Amino acid sequence: MERGRRSRVRPWMAWVLAVAVAGAGFGLYWFQPWKLWQDETVQEALPGTVDVSGAPAAAPSGAAPSASAPAGPVTVASGALISHEHATSGTVKLVRLADGSHVVRLENLDTSNGPDLRVLLADAPVKEGRAGWHVFDDGDHVSLGKLKGNKGSQNYAVPEDVSLARYSSVSIWCDRFDVSFGAAELVQG
């Protein structure tokens, strides 16, 4: 009797164990919890400015200087990042470069690392607390690319065909979970 009972239990336990291992593997891939302890710092100079070596920083490729544009970068709009899903701080600037192109610049960014983080330019209002966590992909938005690092200062080129008048905010957006880590309202001036 003991032997027959043992042979019926083993296949069932093997199946449960296989499902548990597969579930744990999928959960680790999906959530990537180790990223919470991994910081990636990126320090980029603003294009068109002089770096510490004294050489001018490179302008975006294919850029030709414009006679009517100012000699250097001009901040068109800016705002302070507020925390949403994760503690986030720093400054966001919309900068017009000497060639007339635009970049979104994150300065002194400090947020958590996470899976599939992106920088979104959006028309959504920036709201405090949980009310602001999920709104940035609801309306009109443009992904400026993957977040280069969760700490530091970095630049994101705005595509030439983007009408900047349509967008009023920037979000550090987790595309995998459709949630904002933090966001800033862009205020002109």
Concatenate the DSSP letters of all residues of 39-80 into one string.
--EEE-PPTTSB-TTSSBPPPPTT----SSS-SS-EEEEEEE
d(CA 185, CA 81): 8
Phi, psi of 15 (to 5 degrees): -65, -45
Rounded average pLDDT over 11-16: 71
Is residue 49 pLDDT above 60, yes or no?
yes
125-177 pLDDT per residue, tens: 999 999 998 999 899 999 999 999 999 999 999 999 999 999 999 999 999 88
Reduce the DSSP state of residue 100 to 3 states and report it.
Answer: coil
Is residue 96 pLDDT above 90, yes or no?
yes
Instruction: Enter the pTM of the model.
Output: 0.74
Token pair for 63: 């850029």
> 9 or 150: which carries more pLDDT confidence?
150
Average pLDDT, the chain: 83
Burial 20-32 (b: 16+ CB within 10 A, else e): eeeeeeeeeeeee
d(CA 170, CA 121): 5
Residue 115: per-residue pLDDT: 84
d(CA 90, CA 110): 6
Is residue 109 pLDDT above 80, yes or no?
yes
Residues 187/78, Cβ–Cβ less than 8 Å = yes
Residue 48: per-residue pLDDT: 81
Q: For residue 104, what pLDDT band results from cuts at 50, 70 and 90?
A: very high
64-90 pLDDT per residue, tens: 444 554 578 999 999 999 999 989 999
Phi, psi of 128 (to 5 degrees): -70, 155
Q: What number of other Cβ atoms are within 10 A of residue 81's Cβ?
A: 25
> What percent of the chain is predicted at pLDDT more than 90?
57
